[in-house]
Amino acid sequence: MAMARLLRLRGLLRATGPRPFSAEASPLQTEQSGTKRPEPSSAKSLVDIGTRRIFTSDHDIFRESARKFFQEEVLPFHAQWEKDGQVSRELWEKAGQQGLLGVAIAEKHGGIGADILSSAVVWEEQMYVNCTGPGFSLHSDIVMPYIANYGSEEQIKRFIPEMVAGKCIGAIAMTEPGAGSDLQGVRTYAKKDGSDWILNGSKVFITNGWMSDVVIVVAVTNREAQSPAHGISLFLVENGTKGFIKGRKLNKIGLKAQDTAELFFEDVRLPASALLGKENKGFYYLMAELPQERLLIADMALAGCEFMFEETRNYVKQRKAFGKTIAHLQTVQHKLAEMKTQICVGRAFLDNCLQLHADKRLDSSTASMAKYWSSDLQNSIATQCVQLHGGWGYMWEYPIAKAFVDARVQPIYGGTNEIMKELIARDIVSDK
């Protein structure tokens, strides 16, 4: 069993450390002999371990270990990484040793071989410590699936084991200065030269771009195609390749510890073996993999909401005004009630999407709903939680301030929320 292998090989059964927000799994919360798991709405905390019916006790054990890792190996160092504009390479290798990378990649390809729900555990636990620096989710659940699903045996053997170990950091380069959500507007071009390819172009806003060891580059390979979608291919470009230049780390308003870079390709000569999948099929590969990317963004957005709610709940129960804690004020209580309801409604839909995806039934339209709804909610919750913190919520040393600025990009990347609505509407009005 894949989960058993994950727990056994990575030593995840050892005792774990303290959990935030009183998130201990009580005997009633732990799945035993089919007993029912509580829903977040009735749990002590929205981040309790042992809740949510989509998970099992095996997932709980993995979550305990993942939570301990993020608390001990990420949280204490994140402020420095924000100043550096990137996390450390040592962290990546520690994550590999802990079994947190390539979790849902098949064992036959060199991955851990667990289910996508186990990957979701990692996504969520990162958000529960409010540390957006590590680009683990993009590396493991966006980049690696392209290689595992469309790569040659040689490419899989070359990259997947090293990526699972955290020794090879992956990125994907879609966005260009003049092409964001419109992937058919890509201008980066790869031209055939004998059996080789000559790659020219530039990319921007590339997560893991500065630290990347291998980048999946989206490029036009047939300018005469009947439509741009028919003339796009994917290439694996390794760091150090002549003509592959990493530009500056971009200075963003949020995600301060996440290395985001410009990439330039100047007459980069690539062997035929650098082509990922088939020539001119890249756009179809992108369309097949984007639902998982959007689900990932959605789940991390919801987890961000859960973190912000608990952070704010704790704050209002301590902050005093007018002779009592502000949690005693009816307007604050009603705001908390509204937020918890909105988050629990969103979580119910998101968990359904996660289960659909685990069953390979999640379609593009539903994934788009999840991404747009959850990221919009994340920004709404962030605004309300900052307001409940008052002036302190505007101070950088308060976690809610970082959560607020980190949330803003969520409706933009992975396809803007306006594009998500277009995709949803297309299904609604289609006669097919």
Q: What is the DSSP pairing of strand 275-276 with strand 320-321?
A: unpaired
- The helix/strand/coil state of 51 is coil
The helix (H) or strand (E) run that includes residue 64 is: helix 57-69
| Residue appearing with tokens 């741009």 | 228
Nearest to 413 by CA among 239, 290, 257: 290
Q: How far apart are CA 154 and CA 334, in angstroms?
A: 58
CA–CA distance from 7 to each of 2, 103, 116 (Å)? Answer: 9, 11, 15
Tell which phi-psi region holds residue 386, choosing left (phi > 0), alpha (psi between -120 and 50) or beta.
alpha
Tokens of 415: 């396809």
Pairing type for strands 189-193 and 275-276 reads unpaired
Quick one: tokens of 129?
Answer: 């410590």
Alpha carbon 307 to its chain centroid, in Å, reads: 16
Contacts of 1 (CB under 8 A, 6+ apart): none
Question: How many angstroms separate the CA atoms of 107 and 243, rounded?
Answer: 35
* Beta carbons within 8 Å of 331's beta carbon, 6+ residues apart: none
What single-letter amino acid sits at 203?
K
Angle at 385 between CA 338 and CA 402, to 5 degrees: 145
Return the active site residues.
Answer: 293
- Contact (Cβ atoms closer than 8 angstroms) between residue 189 and residue 228: no
In angstroms, the CA 212 to CA 91 distance is 14
Q: Is 32 exposed, middle or buried (0-12, 13-18, 19+ CB in 10 A)?
A: exposed
CA distance 135 to 215: 13
Q: CA 231, CA 188: separation in Å to the nearest integer? A: 12
Nearest to 249, CA basis, from 218, 211, 216 = 211
For residues 240 and 218, what is the distance between their CA atoms, to the nearest angstrom?
18
